[in-house]
C-alpha cells in the first residue's frame, strides 16, 4: 500500500492511499455525506439524498470498487473511485472523483487521478470512462489534464481515457530488434570478425 504526500504550492498536507475493502469504506460514506449540495449534485448527477449515498457506499464496499483516498487527520477529504468493468454495460471501468471544498484547488484531485491511473494500469485495464455534467468546469479541467476526450450528450459529458502500455525501458528496447536490425547487427559482427582475422594474419596492412 503506497503513501504519498500531496504537495503543491498551496500544500495539501494529507496522505493518499487505497482504502481497505469493507472495513474502511465507511470513511468513503462519511466523506460523500459531507459534500455540500452543489458538489453532491455534481458527483451524483442529481441524486442527492443521504439514503442514496449510504446505499451507494455500501455497494462500493462489496462490489470490488477500489477507492483511493486523500486523508487528513484520519478523515477522508477526497476520493477517487475505480469501479470494476463487470459493473458497466460495455465492460469499461468507470471512474469518479470527489474532493471536499475545504481542500480543493490544491492538487488533491490531480494526485488522486494519477494514483488511480497507476492502479488501473496495474490491473491491466486499457481504458477508463468518466461521466460528468456538461457544466462541471472543475471536473472537465481535471479530466482534460489526464487526456480524457470528453463528448457532450444530453447535458452530460462522457470521456474515455486510453491507457496505452508504458514504453519499455531502454535496455528492453535495444533487445527488441526488427528482423532488419538483427540482420544488420549480424553483418556488422561478421565484418568486425573478418577484419580481426585479416589483421591477425597481416593481410590487410595495405588497407
Ligand atoms: C472536480 C474536483 C474533483 C477537482 O478537485 P481538485 O482537488 O480541486 O482538483 P485539482 O486541484 O487537482 O485541479 C485540477 C485541475 O482542474 C482545474 N480546476 C479545478 N477546479 C476548477 C474550476 N472550478 N474551474 C476551472 N478549473 C478548475 C485546476 O486549475 C487544475 O488544473 P491545473 O493543474 O492545470 O492548474 C472537485 O472540484 C470536486 O470534487 N467537485 C465535486 C464533485 C464532482 O464534480 N465530481 C465529478 C463527477 S465524477
Pick the range with the lowest mean pLDDT from 9-18, 105-114, 115-124.
9-18
**Residue 190: predicted pLDDT:** 44
Any ligand 1 atom below 6 A from CB of 158: no
Kind of pairing between the strands at 156-162 and 149-153: antiparallel
Supply the pTM of this predicted model. Answer: 0.81
Kind of pairing between the strands at 94-99 and 15-18: unpaired
User: What's the CA gap between 54 and 148, in Å, rounded?
Assistant: 29
Average pLDDT for 10-16 = 82
For ligand 1, atom 36: residue with the closest CA: 99
State the cell numbers at 70. 486523500
State the cell numbers at 175. 533487445
**Residue 164: predicted pLDDT:** 79
Radius of gyration of the chain (CA): 26
Could you tell me which residue, 3 or 64, shows the higher pLDDT? 64
Average pLDDT for 10-24 = 87
Q: Residue 185: which pLDDT band, with cuts at 50, 70 and 90?
A: very low
User: What's the CA gap between 204 and 25, in Å, rounded?
Assistant: 78
Compute, in angstroms, the gap from residue 153 CA to the centroid of ligand 1. Answer: 21
Angle, nearest 10°, between helix axes 25-34 and 50-62? 150
User: What's the CA gap between 123 and 163, in Å, rounded?
Assistant: 11
Out of 138, 143, 161, mutate this one to test ligand 1's pocket (max ligand atoms within 8 Å of CB): namely 138
For ligand 1, atom 46: residue with the closest CA: 43
For ligand 1, atom 7: residue with the closest CA: 109
Q: CB–CB of 106/11 below 8 Å?
A: yes
Q: Residue 192: which pLDDT band, with cuts at 50, 70 and 90?
A: very low
Q: What are phi and psi of 28, to 5 degrees?
A: -65, -45
Amino acid at each position: 500500500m503506497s503513501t504519498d504526500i500531496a504537495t503543491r504550492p498551496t500544500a495539501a498536507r494529507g496522505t493518499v492511499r487505497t482504502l481497505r475493502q469493507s472495513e474502511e469504506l465507511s470513511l468513503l460514506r462519511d466523506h460523500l455525506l459531507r459534500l455540500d449540495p452543489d458538489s453532491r449534485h455534481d458527483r451524483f448527477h442529481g441524486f442527492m439524498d443521504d439514503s442514496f449515498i449510504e446505499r451507494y457506499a455500501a455497494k462500493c464496499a462489496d462490489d470490488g470498487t477500489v477507492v483511493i483516498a486523500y486523508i487528513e487527520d484520519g478523515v477522508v477529504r477526497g476520493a477517487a473511485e475505480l469501479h470494476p468493468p463487470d459493473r458497466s454495460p460495455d465492460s469499461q471501468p468507470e471512474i469518479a472523483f470527489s474532493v471536499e471544498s475545504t481542500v480543493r484547488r490544491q492538487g488533491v484531485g490531480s494526485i488522486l487521478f494519477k494514483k488511480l491511473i497507476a492502479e488501473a494500469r496495474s490491473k491491466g485495464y486499457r481504458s477508463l470512462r468518466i461521466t460528468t455534467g456538461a457544466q462541471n468546469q472543475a471536473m472537465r479541467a481535471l479530466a482534460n489534464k489526464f487526456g480524457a476526450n470528453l463528448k457532450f450528450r444530453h447535458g452530460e459529458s462522457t470521456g474515455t481515457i486510453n491507457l496505452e502500455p508504458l514504453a519499455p525501458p531502454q535496455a528492453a528496447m535495444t533487445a527488441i530488434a526488427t528482423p532488419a536490425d538483427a540482420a544488420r547487427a549480424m553483418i556488422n559482427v561478421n565484418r568486425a570478425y573478418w577484419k580481426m582475422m585479416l589483421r591477425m594474419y597481416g593481410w590487410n596492412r595495405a588497407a
